[in-house]
Amino acid sequence: MVERNVVIVGAGAVGASLAAQLVDCDANRVFFAAGGERLARLQEAPLYVNGELLDVGVLPIDSAAVDVDLLILTVKAPQLAGALVEIERLVGEGTTILSLLNGIESEAEIAAVYGWKRTLYGFVVGIDATRSGRQVRALSRGRFVFGQEKNKVVSKRAAGVGKIFERAGVAYDIPADMMRQLWWKFMVNVGINPLSAILRAPYGVFQDCDEACALMEASMEEVLPLARAEGVKLDHDDVASWQMTLMGLDPTGKTSMLQDVEARRETEVDIFCGAVSRLGRKHGIATPLNDTMGQMIRAIEFGYR
């Protein structure tokens, strides 16, 4: 049983896929929280995960009726600032906040408002969840990686999240060096997210097309010197290690940025290509491929108009 109340903010593909696993363990302690139009949609039109109704309670985000032990943020980066204001009523002294946002910057933004005492680093890898309307499809649920910056001694908060996930059958890992793992996921996202959106390419293209794979790896390679400049050890073996995970994904699955572009939504380009470009300028390291892809994604977004 999930013995603590879990609230998820962000009912996209990742949030819904995770909620489906948690609710199977204890439907009475797992909730979505939302406001405005998102709240109305969740209340009026439920979500389905792999064809099954997702029976999750929905809370108004500005008037929570439960004590929240674990607050999981799965919103997109452009919505984070607004979400941090909205969740104020959900956060208590004992609340742990787990960020599952992409990039390497969200945890610092969360901690700036709610403190590092409550905040855990986190991400999910190996998930191929996609959402179309009220339907979410996830053949691979992925592995959730979380913890504090260093976890040679696991904190009580991280251990508590681990117990919740373990009881719900959610695959997870608390690595000794969380920052290295966070940067590895950042490198992977930089490699495949913008490029997939530009090429309109699902995972199968990167599994089978040598040219697409070469471009993906070239983009990832631009992250390596930036990581070293920031004190994080990544190397070419880390680029190669992504292939095993990539080959296990649904070939028809799509990255979050490709889904955003197809839906004509604002993308997370600023936390991928934009972050690479900013770090490149900071350290005097050239990042031409990411500079170019960033411009291309922004041009695509301009075309929405």
Domain contains 1: no
- CA–CA dist 265, 270 (Å, integer): 14
Q: Is the domain of 183 the same as that of 208? A: yes
Contact (CB, 8 A) for 73 and 110 = yes
Q: Is the domain of 96 the same as that of 50? A: yes
Block residue for tokens 């592995």: 143
- What CATH number does residue 298 fall under? 1.10.1040.10
Going residue by residue through the chain (305 aa), what tens digit of pLDDT does each one get?
455 799 999 999 999 999 999 997 776 789 999 999 989 999 999 899 999 999 999 999 887 667 899 999 999 999 999 999 999 999 999 999 999 999 999 999 999 999 999 999 999 999 999 999 999 999 899 999 999 999 999 999 999 999 999 999 999 999 999 999 999 999 999 999 999 999 999 999 999 999 999 999 999 999 999 999 999 999 999 999 999 999 999 999 999 999 999 999 999 999 999 999 999 999 999 999 999 999 999 999 999 98
- CA–CA dist 113, 119 (Å, integer): 10
Contact (CB, 8 A) for 245 and 126 = yes
Domain contains 135: yes
Q: What is the pTM of this model?
A: 0.92
Q: Is the domain of 130 the same as that of 67? A: yes
Contact (CB, 8 A) for 29 and 55 = no
Q: Is the domain of 212 the same as that of 282? A: yes
Cα dist. 91→7, 98, 196 in Å?
10, 12, 36
Q: How many domains does the chain have?
A: 2
